[in-house]
Amino acid sequence: MTADAAVRRTVVTCLHCGKRNRVPSVADGVPRCGNCHHSLPWIAEAADDDFAAIAERASIPVLVDFWATWCGPCRMVSPALEQLATERVGVIKLVKVDVDGAPALGQRFQIQAVPTLLVLRGGEVAARQAGAAPVAVLRRWLDDALAEPKPSEPNPPAEKEPS
Ligand SMILES: [Zn+2]
């Protein structure tokens, strides 16, 4: 059905009550379970034509996964990202972009290799990670990106003047 192309839906199981919900790729606020009203993990797919609506204008920070079907490391990173989206329910939205179906995005974000991960906050790139990494590393990277108001230089260690 072509009418469904504008807003795609992903089936997500509620962590709280186990009900399967159809979660829209674009929504105000954060998706909630139709049964128990707890927040649901938000995982969507986007391409050139709908990336702006799904990722750049999202109501919460977005973790973008640029991946490809032929990419072995992507198959290890994708479950880790879904785990993070599940752990950070209501905090981030995971948006997957198949680079082969999104040449304009690949060019715009200068994707040289897959997987490449971005954190978008208010449509701006707050962090970028190229290549696969273990989930613990990705979790720390994500939390750092969410904690910083803007990417900035680390503060040099303060040196005490001898008095
Ligand atoms: Zn529920």
pLDDT band at 3 (very low <50, low <70, confident <90, very high): very low
Q: What is the CATH number of domain 42-147?
A: 3.40.30.10
How remote is the CA of residue 18 from the centroid of ligand 1, in Å?
Answer: 6
Average pLDDT over residues 152-162: 59
* pLDDT surpasses 70 at 5: no
Does the annotation mark 71 as catalytic? yes
Domain locations along the chain: 42-147
Average pLDDT over residues 53-69: 96
Q: Whose CA is closest to 147, among 61, 70, 21, 19?
A: 61
Per the listing, tokens 């790139």 go with 125
Q: What is the pLDDT of residue 2?
A: 42
Per the listing, tokens 């590393």 go with 137
Residue-wise pLDDT for 24-33, tens only, equals 999 888 999 9
How remote is the CA of residue 3 from the centroid of ligand 1, in Å?
Answer: 28
Catalytic residue among 17, 33, 36, 74: 74
pLDDT band at 155 (very low <50, low <70, confident <90, very high): low
Catalytic residue among 14, 17, 33, 71: 71
Label residue 48 left, alpha or beta by phi (over 0 means left) and psi (-120 to 50 means alpha). Answer: alpha
Residue-wise pLDDT for 75-129, tens only, equals 999 999 999 999 999 999 999 999 999 999 999 999 999 999 999 999 999 999 9
For the entire predicted model, the pTM comes to 0.85
How remote is the CA of residue 17 from the centroid of ligand 1, in Å?
Answer: 4
Question: For residue 124, what are the contacts with CB-CB under 8 A and spacing of at least 6?
Answer: none
Does the annotation mark 74 as catalytic? yes
How remote is the CA of residue 30 from the centroid of ligand 1, in Å?
Answer: 14
Q: What is the pLDDT of residue 6?
A: 62
Q: What is the pLDDT of residue 158?
A: 61
What whole-number distance in Å separates Cα of residue 73 and Cα of residue 71? 6
